[in-house]
């Protein structure tokens, strides 16, 4: 099937260079915000399918991929959220959907509160529900830092098998190629933010329709967490992907697309469906 990839590009928004990949070019605008150590290109296989239905943009969050990084940058949640708002404004996106995974979902929550202009739908894929006084995020910081350092030193993709034993060779190769672009300062700030930023306080202020996607095997969102999120956002829709771990589309790509239902305006499907 013909690729939906259009181009990669940079723009200046919120005072930094932001890099993104664009797919499809027609239909509802969708902005995908990946997780803590996932440059935009690692979500390319998902964006290919989104591009069959939507005008899709995948961001390199600051400090990852080809977006700006430096010792002077603020890598906090507010700064990342304002990046998304400024990105959408710079491109003139209206009635767009924000699809965030893990850290990207937390960025989406804060974006919906701080920078709601143009945002019409919000999808939260297995967001960490850690925060002040809450249980810790289940992954440990060295898991991220050790793998980044291995790839920065030029280790082969085989070195990542211990970190992601269920991934295919193609998935490991792509991660190995791009993981070195993740700035350790950005990763540490985001991880610390998982435990310091109170995203639950943002939820009652979100006024757009929202979908929570829960990985059945991730141990990131438990049943009691879902109950609390629903209390804070009574209109929240919840979809389960029972067989998937936290990296949902890597574990169950068809189930990932099915979980969207018609929330974005039309059902999603993988190319093989």
Question: What is the per-residue pLDDT across 166-187, written as a single tens digit (0 to 9) for each?
Answer: 999 999 999 999 999 999 999 9
CB atoms within 10 A of CB 122: 25
Average pLDDT, the chain: 97
Tokens of 61: 């969050």
Report pLDDT digits (tens) over 84-118.
Answer: 999 999 999 999 999 999 999 999 999 999 999 99
Q: At what angle do helices 77-90 and 103-114 cross, to 10 degrees?
A: 70
Q: Alpha-carbon distance 68 to 211, whole Å?
A: 30
Residue 17's alpha-carbon distances to 83, 147, 169, in angstroms, are: 10, 26, 32
* 273 band by pLDDT with thresholds 50, 70 and 90: very low
Q: Does residue 272 surpass a pLDDT of 90?
A: no
Q: Does residue 132 surpass a pLDDT of 90?
A: yes
Tell me yes or no: is domain 5-135+197-260 CATH 3.10.105.10.
Answer: no
What's the distance, CA 102 to chain centroid? 6
């Amino acid at each position: 099937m013909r690729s939906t990839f259009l181009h990669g590009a940079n723009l200046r928004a919120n005072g930094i260079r932001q890099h993104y990949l664009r797919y499809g070019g027609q239909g509802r605008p969708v902005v995908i915000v990946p997780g803590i150590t996932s440059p935009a290109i690692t979500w390319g296989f998902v964006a290919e399918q989104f591009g069959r239905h939507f005008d899709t943009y995948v961001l390199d969050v600051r400090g990852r991929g080809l977006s700006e990084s430096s010792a002077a940058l603020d890598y906090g949640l507010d700064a990342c959220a304002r990046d998304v708002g400024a990105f959408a404004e710079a491109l003139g996106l209206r009635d767009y959907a924000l699809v965030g995974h893990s850290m990207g979902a937390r960025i989406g929550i804060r974006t919906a509160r701080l920078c709601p202009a143009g945002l019409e739908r919000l999808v939260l894929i297995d967001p960490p529900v850690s925060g002040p006084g809450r249980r810790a995020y289940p992954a440990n910081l060295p898991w991220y830092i050790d793998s980044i350092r291995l790839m920065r030193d030029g280790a082969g993709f085989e070195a990542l098998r211990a970190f992601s034993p269920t991934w295919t060779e193609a998935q490991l190769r792509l991660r190995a190629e791009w993981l070195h672009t993740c700035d350790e300062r950005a990763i540490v700030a985001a991880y610390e933010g998982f435990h310091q930023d109170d995203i639950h306080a943002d939820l009652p202020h979100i006024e757009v329709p929202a979908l929570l996607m829960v990985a059945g095997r991730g141990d990131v969102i438990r049943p009691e967490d879902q109950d609390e999120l629903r209390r804070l956002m009574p209109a929240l829709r919840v979809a389960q992907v029972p067989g998937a771990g936290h990296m949902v589309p890597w574990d169950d790509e068809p189930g990932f697309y099915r979980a969207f239902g018609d929330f974005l305006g039309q059902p999603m499907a993988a190319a093989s469906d």
